[in-house]
Amino acid sequence: MMLLQRLARPLPDVARPLFPELRQELDRLFENFLGPDNRLFGPSAFPALNMWEDEQRLYVEAEVPGIDLKDLEINVQGNELSVKGRRNMIEDENVTYLRRERGAGEFVRFLTLPVEVDAERVEATLKDGVLNIALPKAETARARKITVKTA
């Protein structure tokens, strides 16, 4: 991975005049292989997620900057959570992008939940580009203290 990324970097200025056709061919090769926005070696999944729990709930936090509330969809089915969304790409024919690292388009993330949740009581909020999902554990999934009796 690192080797390919190093090879995709621009040649030093002194080498450019010596190998212009080679450089153009390498640029074309890497763009075809990696895609124009280098998605192959970017983050493995979008959006980045954190998941944790306490006694009552599971919590999921997702980074979704630049995504409108209307472009998000959250579903719970069985023990699977899906977060779907869309980040629109601003296209302008009058500009040349020098760097394009923020992904655009549709995405979906699936998480297998470690316990059953009460899907009717799931809550989600979006604030400052962070999506927070609270998933109440089903009554059967909650820990209960068992009193030990003497026989």
pLDDT tens-place values along the chain, 151 residues long: 454 555 555 545 555 555 667 766 766 666 555 544 444 444 445 788 999 999 999 999 999 988 888 999 999 998 899 999 988 877 778 888 888 777 778 888 999 999 999 999 999 999 999 999 999 999 877 777 788 888 8
Number of domains in the chain: 2
Is 71 inside any structural domain?
yes
The gap from C-alpha 103 to its chain's centroid, in whole angstroms, comes to 9
User: Are residues 108 and 75 located together in one domain of the fold?
Assistant: yes
Q: Are 99 and 38 in contact (CB under 8 A)?
A: no
User: Are residues 70 and 126 located together in one domain of the fold?
Assistant: yes
User: Are residues 8 and 76 located together in one domain of the fold?
Assistant: no
Phi then psi dihedrals of residue 30, to 5 deg: -70, -35
State the Cα–Cα distance between residues 135 and 124, nearest whole angstrom: 9
User: Are residues 66 and 24 located together in one domain of the fold?
Assistant: no
User: Are residues 72 and 91 located together in one domain of the fold?
Assistant: yes
Q: Are 9 and 22 in contact (CB under 8 A)?
A: no
Domain that holds residue 136: 49-141
User: Are residues 137 and 100 located together in one domain of the fold?
Assistant: yes
